[in-house]
Amino acid sequence: MRVNGAWREADVWPGTSLLAFLREALGLYGSKNACEQGECGSCSVWLDGTLACSCLVLAAQAHEREVRTVEGLTSGDRLHPIQEAFLEAGAVQCGFCTPGFVVAVADLLDKDANPSPATVREALSGNLCRCTGYQKILDAVQLAAERRRAGS
């Protein structure tokens, strides 16, 4: 499959999930395994441009397809502006849920540069955080959206 712009391959057991493939075969540890049941969003990636829980997709189902992970958002050592907004807003505690949120927020802001609070809540309804209480995550989304609209 093509992962973050580069063709990658590995021999894996037919039942290997895309999440396990990314983490264990390719060493891309940004996507997290929190529930492995499609409930928490911490494993979110784009599969052919659409958000997907990589724990629910077989690696074999992604054969010859385009996968983009949270690692694909950054270039070099610089954080993505959404990641910076999460840090500045205090939206990260243990950080386990954060990559999934960052992917979901990036997907949202690509589709809607000025989302209403209700739209943000709906877009993030598939992502669970057990630490922050969510308000700071919502603050981070607004901060990231404002900066994106301002072009900074």
Does 124 engage in binding with ligand FES (CB under 6 A)?
Answer: no
Task: Decide if 85 contacts 92 (C-beta within 8 A).
Answer: no
User: 100 to 119, contacts with ligand FES by CB under 6 A?
Assistant: none
Selected from 2, 16, 25, 35, the binder of ligand FES by CB under 6 A is 35
Q: How many residues does the chain have?
A: 152
Size of the site for ligand FES (CB under 6 A): 22
Q: Which of 24, 51, 84, 95 binds ligand FES (CB under 6 A)?
A: 95
In DSSP notation, 38-87 reads: SSS-TTEEEETTEEEETTSSBGGGGTT-EEE-GGGG-BTTBPPHHHHHHH
β pairing state of 50-53 and 66-68: unpaired
Name which position in 43, 57, 102, 109 contacts ligand FES (CB under 6 A): 43
Which spans of this chain sit near ligand FES (rule: CB under 6 A)?
33-36, 38-43, 53, 55, 92-97, 129-132
